[in-house]
Structure 1
Amino acid sequence: MSKSSAKLKINKLVLEGRDKNYVVEFHNGLNIIYGDSDTGKSSILNLVNYLLGSKNVYMYEELEIHGKEALLEVLLNDEIFTIKRNIFNSNDFIEVYPSSIENIKDTFPLEFGPDYKKMGPNGFFSDFLLESLNIPLIEVKVAPTKADSKTIRLSFRDIFKFCYLNQDDVGSKDMLDRKNFSVFTKNKETFKFIHNVLDTQVLDMEKDLSEKRRKKNELIAEYKIVSTFLRDARFETEDSINHKIEQTNLELIFIESNISKINSTLLSDTEQFEDLRQDIFLLEKQINETHVEKSVKETQLEQNIRLRKEYKKDIDKLNASIEIKEALPENDEEPNLSCPLCDSIIILDSKENTIIQYEGRMLENEIKKLKSRINDIDGLIIEQRNGVYIFEENLRKWKNELAEKKNTLDMNTKQIISPYLSQRDEMMSKRAALHETKQSILYLHKVRTKLNKLNQNAEIIQEQISELDGKLEKLKKGTPEIEQVIGDIADILSEYLHTIPILNAHGISINKNTFLPVVRNRDYHNLTSGGLRTIVSIGYFISLLKYGDKYNTYLPSILMIDTLGKYLGTNDTIPKKDRIREIVDDEGLKDPEKYSNLYKYLVSIHETLFETHQIIVVDNQLPSGLETTLSKYVVKHFSVDGIGDSKGLIDNA
């Protein structure tokens, strides 16, 4: 089995909240997240996508109320990193720690610009991901057929489109932005690059190799300068630092034990400390009142967020009314319309059609009013959220002050107080000194870790150079023909479609102009069945993944699919009236067996590619009869009635 040259694996997602953290852990191979609607399933993939550089995160109300920041622990070609990002401001720099989530305090973070419009102190986030995955930094032509065409950077986001099939694209006719000419053109150039058939690939790879050699030399030079300085400054060695950390921790344990013993003896009560008791009483009262005020403010915040959501729904409805009105014929003599879902005839009754009785300008004015109200509410939400933060800060401060006063009262009310106070003060002084010493030692440890990382990075770049040298040599000897590439991908797709199986599985290929699937000699966007498009779109992305493993392409070794059962018959126990409605099931895709076969196919991929690849699937349920088989792949099960792991991603909402 070949090792992917762009190995990307998600280890852990952590959403930091105001009340607690929400954690999702992943493993190699197949990962399944399933459960009831509106429980935060899709938001998990949405957050992963955001932490990998997407411009936006879907900000539903529970996330906006309870969330603060998000962290993603990833393996990039077996090197561990933690990505940290502000979920409320996508323009902030993205922090990257060269460590696991648990150890980020032991390292210095790198700061990257979120896109190519804003450079961070350490460069662009996309370049960091591409370089870590050993994917060359190249530019592609805006108009490939023109010799003098302008060029544009190929970003990690362009490549990741072929790794993430979100719920809007599953079964969509316009998968991969087919109708957006400029974006789709870049997508096609990205497809060529991923599969090593881009015309300029040899030249671009030579440039990237030259840049990597330059960076390696810079890292080696920086390592020598820093190590020489540390040696001349008689800086502690790593072994010596680790020994001092261990010794300091042991001394702190001893000191804490002594302080605890002294505190346990200070149990006296006299009237001379009545003022201190009064201070404690007032603080407790202030804290309780603030908790009430904070609760009121949080309720107002939640109400405004929900109100804003309702206004947005009203705007969507009004926009839909405008679109429907524009689509309706001007008079009764015009031909009837066809339903866009089932091609059946829509019979219009103008007497009962309330939409056409309203002028478009009236609806547009109403939309403007709603948008104005949303702007006002946005200001209130920011003000109320800041107010909650102030309450929380005050509560932390007053609770600390209360704890100190209670501690002082306990200490000073001992019958024989002076000797114990003297001993305790001495111990606390030693503890403070030890904590200062420990912080200094930890800083030295961070510096040593940074130095080691320089050396490791130089070694990693050398490995990347060797790998790219091999690829470059192969490209120079003979770049694969695009017909051969799409032919091999089509073979994988054909095998998949026969396994599901679909009816009349013939005429299967990849269009050499669009690089999208062809089934029954019909282009993907001309397939009329939503269920068939769902099966084919999932199969297309799976085929790209399997081809990438076999031929070592630049496609990252991860696939994320949101809502696998879209348009499919998922469970034979569901009443017919509750299934997705189609007039005629000509494709036979309401048969739950096909849904089960789809999951069985994913399990077979897991068994083959477990060591090198990762597949993350979000769905509403599991196929009947496979619950036990699939249970070992489930990483999260949400249920509003509490049957699953929890009620949702944010389970205190």
Structure 2
Amino acid sequence: MIKSSAKLKINKLELIGRDKNYIVEFHNGLNIIYGDSDTGKSSILNLVNYLLGSKNVYMYEELEVHGTDALLEVLLNDEVFTIKRNIHNANDFIEVYPSNIEDMENTFPLQLGPDYKKAGSDGFFSDFLLESLNIPLVEVKQAPTKPDSKTIRVSFRDIFKFCYLNQDDVGNKDILDRKNFVVFTKNKETFKFIHNLLDTQILQMEKELGEKRRKRSEILEEYNIVTSFLRDTRFDTEDSINHTLQQTNLELNFIESEISKINATLLSDTNKFENLRQDIFLLEKQINESHTEKAIKETQLEQNIRLKKEYKKDIDKLEASIEVKEIIPDTEEEIDLSCPVCDGSIVIDLKDNPIIQYEPEILKNEIKKLKLRINDIDGLIIEQRNAIYLIEDNLIRWKRQLGEYKNTLDMNTKEIISPYLAQRDELTSKRAALHETKQRVLYFQKIRTKLNKLNQSAETIVEQIAELGEKLEELKKDTPELEKVINDISDILSEYLNTIPIRNAHGISINKNSFLPIVRKKDYYNLTSGGLRTIVSVGYFISLLIYGAKNNSYLPTLLMIDTIGKYLGTNNIASSTSKDIADDEELKDPKKYGNLYKYLINLSETLSETYQIIVVDNQLPSDLENQLTQYVVKHFSVDGVGDSKGFIDNAE
């Protein structure tokens, strides 16, 4: 039954955080993520989509604060890869490691351009995904009805639009960018390509076969060059490298153990000198505190000496004023005096000179007060000097004592620890050499791993060439007709809608021009009920998945649906997110919601070997919770009922 060559499976999503990593693991078949609103459910699918080449990721606050990079471990046609991408800069090159997440460091990554604007050293990310999934690199006409129309390449993102029904598109009238003429035209051409309906597909497949053969030759040439180099340099075999790495790790573990033992012995043997160490610690503390105290005393002494000088200056000024008063006559008139220096005339206006007008007794009393203050300061100065002298004497004594203690400790501990230190230094030197050896061996291991990957890539391309050759022969013999593809998808959609069931499930088909559903002979975008559009949009994507499983197509084996219960009556009417549920559709009935999940369970059991369906929802049908438990990969609840309170479970 399983015929798709584009086998895509998600193994694990890991968000690298500043404080911790956030991990979601997936399995074959149905995967369910559900829980309260605003807990990061949709961000998981959003990150998966981003790691598969989307231009951006929805950066809500918790993700922006806590996250740095994201990893996605995927199986591309049964070959494991880990995709790494910076979530804060979508323009950075995408790294792809040919290994699982745990073994990333043992391999050299590919560096790929996130879009077709700038290639990485290993090309474009879209081309890598297409080639890994054995999907031909083709171009489609921008205006299919014009013979001279320009062409544009089909990217992985164009194809993946039919694999991811995000929460904005569930039940949306303008699904698959219907109102954007240019984009919608390309979507229709991509639909044709996925189902081998392009007029030029045979020519393009022949071109792709030629490219595959050319690439196989390049890989074999590179493989031969590398193996020749390894032979010429007598490079160790893979078994020899693994043996050396194993032995190096054993020696490193032994040396680490011996160093730990020496450190423990040193600590034990020197414990007897703990009292001496304590005395040294107390003396050093006392010396430091005394230095601080001395500095404070010296500052205070300097301030008091400065203050004493200021008081003496004030006394000199006051005494000079008294002398002047005694010389100058007691009169209010101007007086004319001769200068004792130059014999010149000095005119003094006694009315404008307040100092001279002071009474001598008042000035003398002020002088007495200042002299008393000077006496007090002299006492403080003497006291502070004596305190400084005492501190200095203590410091000399304590420093001498400290030196004796340290000499005693050094002499005793030297005899004990010297042999151990020499032994530890020798082991430390060996450890450094072993680490260097390990890094060199790991590098050799990466080269051997790359060689193995080249060999695997060559084998994979051989298989792809054979598979493309078979498809090409089938296309030449029996090219699928649009009518048959449309009818087959319509039958699957009709069976699904009758299983739910919807009322008046008739007139169900796929529009031959838009490739969108028709229900009750109405185009999808003319359906007025949001609940009905939800049921139909989900069914349409499921129908494409089922058709791809039964027929040769290029649709990847992954389907992601976000908020599947949108616009539906779930477990109770109040819980519905809809204001658009029409009574005549009877979509308030929780049984229809349950039937949708039952359909997914049956589909999962039918396609679980290779296909993968990831569903996000706010809750589960109450009568199916026990049955659905085995499919739940994450359950978020703000009150702690689920696995955690949210995807970023340590956010404030």
| TM-score > 0.5, shorter chain as reference | yes
The aligned runs of 1:201-600 (5 Å cut-off) are 201-267=201-267, 268=270, 269=274, 271=277, 416-572=416-572, 575=574, 580-582=578-580, 584-600=582-598
Q: Which residue of 1 aligns with 2:622?
A: 624
Q: Which residue of 2 aligns with 1:168?
A: 168
> SS in structure 1 opposite 2:554?
coil
Q: Which residue of 1 aligns with 2:48?
A: 48
Query: C-alpha deviations, 1:574-603, integer Å up to 9, x for none?
Result: 548x76334741100010000000000000
Q: Which residue of 1 aligns with 2:188?
A: 188
Cα distance change of structure 1 residues 169 and 517 upon mapping to structure 2, 3 Å threshold: same
> SS in structure 2 opposite 1:82?
strand
> Do the aligned partners of 2:529 and 2:580 also contact (CA within 8 Å) in 1?
no
> Do the aligned partners of 1:90 and 1:114 also contact (CA within 8 Å) in 2?
yes
Query: C-alpha deviations, 1:515-542, integer Å up to 9, x for none?
Result: 0000000000000000000000000000
Q: Distance in 1 between matches of 2:151 and 2:177?
A: 20
Partner amino acid for 1:453?
Answer: K
Cα offset, 1:272, TM superposition: 9.8
Q: Distance in 2 between matches of 1:633 and 1:414?
A: 66
Q: Which of the pair has more CA radius of gyration? A: 2
> Do the aligned partners of 1:266 and 1:414 also contact (CA within 8 Å) in 2?
no
**2:65 matched to 1:59?**
no
Cα distance change of structure 1 residues 52 and 231 upon mapping to structure 2, 3 Å threshold: same
> SS in structure 1 opposite 2:32?
strand
Cα offset, 1:452, TM superposition: 1.2
Query: C-alpha deviations, 1:45-80, integer Å up to 9, x for none?
Result: 000000000001000000011110000000000000
Query: C-alpha deviations, 1:446-480, integer Å up to 9, x for none?
Result: 01111111111011001000000000000011211
Cα offset, 1:415, TM superposition: 8.0
Aligned length: 520
> Do the aligned partners of 1:265 and 1:414 also contact (CA within 8 Å) in 2?
no
Q: Which moved more, 1:250-259 or 1:490-499?
A: 250-259
Cα distance change of structure 1 residues 433 and 619 upon mapping to structure 2, 3 Å threshold: same
Q: Which residue of 1 aligns with 2:358?
A: none
Q: Which residue of 2 aligns with 1:321?
A: none
Query: C-alpha deviations, 1:195-228, integer Å up to 9, x for none?
Result: 0011110000000000000000011111111101
> Do the aligned partners of 2:568 and 2:581 also contact (CA within 8 Å) in 1?
no
> SS in structure 2 opposite 1:176?
helix
Q: Distance in 2 between matches of 1:134 and 1:489?
A: 23
Q: Distance in 1 between matches of 2:448 and 2:279?
A: 50
Q: Which residue of 2 aligns with 1:651?
A: 649
> SS in structure 2 opposite 1:515?
coil
Determine what percentage of the aligned residue pairs are the same residue.
77
Cα offset, 1:430, TM superposition: 1.0
Cα distance change of structure 1 residues 278 and 482 upon mapping to structure 2, 3 Å threshold: farther
Partner amino acid for 1:188?
Answer: K
Cα offset, 1:274, TM superposition: 6.9
Cα offset, 1:423, TM superposition: 1.4
> SS in structure 2 opposite 1:625?
helix
> Do the aligned partners of 2:32 and 2:614 also contact (CA within 8 Å) in 1?
yes
Q: Distance in 2 between matches of 1:108 and 1:453?
A: 10
> SS in structure 2 opposite 1:148?
coil
Q: Which residue of 2 aligns with 1:611?
A: 609
Gaps of 5+ in 1: 280-408
**2:32 matched to 1:24?**
no
Query: C-alpha deviations, 1:65-106, integer Å up to 9, x for none?
Result: 111000000000000000000001000000000000000000
Q: Which residue of 1 aligns with 2:320?
A: none
> SS in structure 1 opposite 2:601?
helix
Query: C-alpha deviations, 1:408-460, integer Å up to 9, x for none?
Result: x9xx9798211111111111111111111111011001011111111110110
Partner amino acid for 1:439?
Answer: Q
> SS in structure 1 opposite 2:595?
helix
Cα offset, 1:4, TM superposition: 2.1
Q: Distance in 2 between matches of 1:142 and 1:523?
A: 24
> Do the aligned partners of 1:8 and 1:77 also contact (CA within 8 Å) in 2?
yes
Query: C-alpha deviations, 1:127-169, integer Å up to 9, x for none?
Result: 0000000000000000000000000010000000000000000
Q: Distance in 2 between matches of 1:542 and 1:558?
A: 10
Aligned Cα root-mean-square deviation (Å):
2.0
Q: Distance in 2 between matches of 1:28 and 1:611?
A: 7
Q: Distance in 2 between matches of 1:414 and 1:39?
A: 61
Query: C-alpha deviations, 1:492-517, integer Å up to 9, x for none?
Result: 00000000000000000000000000
